[in-house]
Amino acid sequence: MSELFEAPTLDQAALARALSGFHLIGGKLTRPVNGRLFPVVNPATGATVAEAADGDSADVDAAVADAARAQKDWALLPARKRGALVHQAAQLIRAHVEELARLVALETGKALRTESRVEANNVADIFEFFGGLGGEIKGETVPFGPDVLNITVREPLGVVGAIIPWNIPMMLLALKVAPALVAGNSIVVKSAEEAPLAVLRIAELMNRVLPPGVFNILSGQGPECGAPLVAHDLVKKVTFTGSVETGRIIARTAADKFIPVTLELGGKSPMIVFADCDFEKTVAGALTSMRFTRQGQSCTAASRIFVQRPIYEKFVAEMAKRVDAMVMGDPLDEATDIGTIISPAQYEKVQAFIAEGKATSGAEGRACARMPADPTLRKGLFIQPHIFTGLDKDSRLVREEIFGPVTVVFPFDDAEAVLRDANDTEFGLAASVWTNDLKIALRFAHRIEAGLVQVNQNLVVQPNLSYGGVKNSGLGKEASLESMLEHFTHKKTIMVNMA
């Protein structure tokens, strides 16, 4: 490996080239068995910036076998020692935060200042948080009888298979890898086809600290690489973030193996705004809630906004004005607020939703923010944020997850009616309520069908706060001590007859 690869660098293009064509298996960067590669494209320019290893079942077999061998010794380490090593790796990640931020901006098109740098810092936070939880992997003494000692212990599951998406790849990697490792498992990650570079760099950094084979990462396509990972006999747990359709396939395969799964499958999150809210704070919160700086590519994006009628017109106008003032441009430019859509396929999908909304009788779609003027970005996958009003509640824009910078705003008069509308969705990941009336806030928080409800804020996932959805938004929780214990260990009961 070059000198560049050993130390932090701000030359993201050179780093991308240095990472080209590798998996990380058994503590070493390795080439795919089949020799195949696929391009990694900068969505802001359309230029190929690297090539990724196009793995298949042979690479999966090698990674899982190494992970299974390494897991036995890893599980024997005291939990606090495992945590200390994960925490040590977190410090290495923190030293490379700017490098990682620039690299993920290059491959995903996410704006450096508003998105990528924030994500990179969150990754270090997550590994630090879970690194401190080793001492919490403990059991209980259970009363049974005077002559019987009855205890429980927490034991790791074995090899964990993880499949991550492209929208916040580093952060979702951390949320799966950190608790799995501290709990005593080894892990094999399949990265997203569109964003394999920054997560590979994180794995390489962490493998400078961790024992070889404990943390492995592959790149490749879902059917050829992801599916064999899920189906592998030695994989004892699967954790996945992605589409509902793929989640169902994974759940069926896991059911045939009788292994546990954690699934985070998306959302259509409501934002409910009452007239007594702090208006300035709430309008600003709408921009944050919709994740416009990430081009709306977020499972928790507030893509359905319900505003009480007395402030509805004013709210829509002010929201549009503020989004219009945001800067779209080169993701690596510090002046940029909004970057690009991830891929041509996603770009076409989002544009089709926008066209359908604009063609709907009685609807209005307000395009906000100017497209980049820089001619070097003419091939970039930029889409103006759109705020729709006047749509019917049965519209596809209201029912389906768009995963783009598109939100729909409705007026409401009746609190019970808006609660029914908020819950009228197959998803149940997140929601927010904006009001200064504590009674209303708590009543809605209890009755909204979602795994995470926030009042007067809509933050992204935070370490130590349980995160996960209901209904078609998935199974299980992430980001907390609860997730580590319940989803990455099993409880064993030990009874000792002392009579």
Catalytically annotated residues:
264
Position of tokens 């074995």? 158
User: In angstroms, how far is the first alpha carbon of the chain from the final one?
Assistant: 63
Element holding 490 (H helix, E strand): strand 489-497
What's the number of CA atoms in the CB half-sphere (13 Å) around residue 142? 13
Q: Are 28 and 1 in contact (CB under 8 A)?
A: no
**Rounded to whole angstroms, how far apart are CA atoms 302 and 270?**
6
Got the DSSP string for 272-283? EE-TTS-HHHHH
Cβ burial of 494 (10 Å; 0-12, 13-18, 19+) is: exposed
Provide CB contacts within 8 A for 280, sequence distance 6+. none
Give the sheet arrangement for strand 186-190, strand by strand.
Answer: 28-30, 23-25, 215-218, 186-190, 159-163, 235-241, 261-264, 474-475
Single-letter amino acid, residue 481: L
Helical spans, DSSP H, in 132-196: 169-182
**Rounded to whole angstroms, how far apart are CA atoms 232 and 60?**
8
Phi-psi region of 377 (alpha: psi -120 to 50; beta: other; left: phi over 0): alpha
Q: How far is CA 69 from the centre of its chain?
A: 29
SS3 51: strand
Helical spans, DSSP H, in 20-109: 57-76, 79-95, 97-108
Angle between helices 438-447 and 415-423 (to 10 degrees): 30
Q: How far is CA 60 from the centre of its chain?
A: 23
**Rounded to whole angstroms, how far apart are CA atoms 463 and 133?**
12
**Rounded to whole angstroms, how far apart are CA atoms 126 and 172?**
10
